[in-house]
A = this chain, B = another copy of it.
Amino acid sequence: MIYILGGSGGIHIAYKLSRDFNLPIIHLEYKTFPDGEKYLRILDEVSEKRVIVIQSMYRNPDSHLIEYFFLVSTLKELGAKEVIGVIPYFPYARQDTRFNPGEVVSLEIVAKLIEKVGTDKIVTIDMHLHRYHDIQELFKIPAKNLTAMKELARYIKSHYKLSNPVVIGPDEESEQWAKVAADVIECNYDILEKKRISPEEVILSPREVNVKDKDVIIVDDIISTGGTMAEAIKFLKRQGARKVICACTHAILAGDALSKIYRAGAYDLISTDTVPSPVSKVNVSKILYEEFIKYL
């Protein structure tokens, strides 16, 4: 049997997972004191139990991390047999190497701390792996990187009338997701080759795509400031694309990213609920359930 505990960044997923798949919940009380410190209390017995801690780490990644460390440490202290950390949105993934001398390689430090507090296994969703080929290179404990791309593609297929669709990845790294989505939607896919001029500027050139009069689905793992996505939309519209529908797993949507994307000409934008946002349409509980079914 597995038990589900949702931290403040995962409670919306935890309760849905519990109810839809009839998994028992470990309840949590939490509050923040006026001085900024958090208070946490695990309300149910956890001794000898296998507990899944769900904590997505968006917006205030540090606060979510500390809460995660507190929860896992305490579960182990209270006798939990196994603690599986589910971090639907994994923070600090970009900072995976030392670009300049003296830089903090945040991703590695975060990974080590997650292990040190007693996590027995880690599960995440569409973690942005640049320099790692596999999440297992980052962790010594068993680690798994699930994808939400199929669910996103299914949602698009069933909710939009698509005419002559094609899936586009906005850069080379997104080819993996474009392929998965195209499989579900049963259409072709391609990517845009991107040349980064500066941290803010990007120039696009197509590989072999002809999007004229097609409905385009752009897929990516994450939308942060929306710059990459907006450039892709504008480029595709200039190339004659009809509807452009954007899908991503993690809709961080910092600043006016949402506005930027619609201004660029998007017909719509959808995401999962790893980061709750106004465009969260796909709940990831089913994806997580399929991973955990083996424990039941």
Contacts and interface: CB of A to CB of B under 8 A. Distances in A.
Given A28-B259, A224-B35, A256-B30, A102 B62 contact: no
Interface in A15-67: 15, 19, 25, 27-32, 34-44, 58-63, 65-67
A59 B59 CA distance: 14
A60 B36 contact: yes
A63 B157 CA distance: 38
Given A273-B278, A276-B276, A254 B19 contact: no
Nearest to A112: B73
Interface in A45-95: 58-63, 65-67, 69-71, 73-74, 77-78, 91-92, 94-95
A263 B71 contact: no
Contacts of A103: 39-42
B43 A102 contact: yes
B38 A62 contact: yes
A119 to B, nearest CB: 13
A92 B95 CA distance: 28
A104 B43 CA distance: 11
A100 interface: yes
A280 interface: yes
Interface in A254-296: 254-256, 258-259, 262-263, 267-268, 273, 276-280
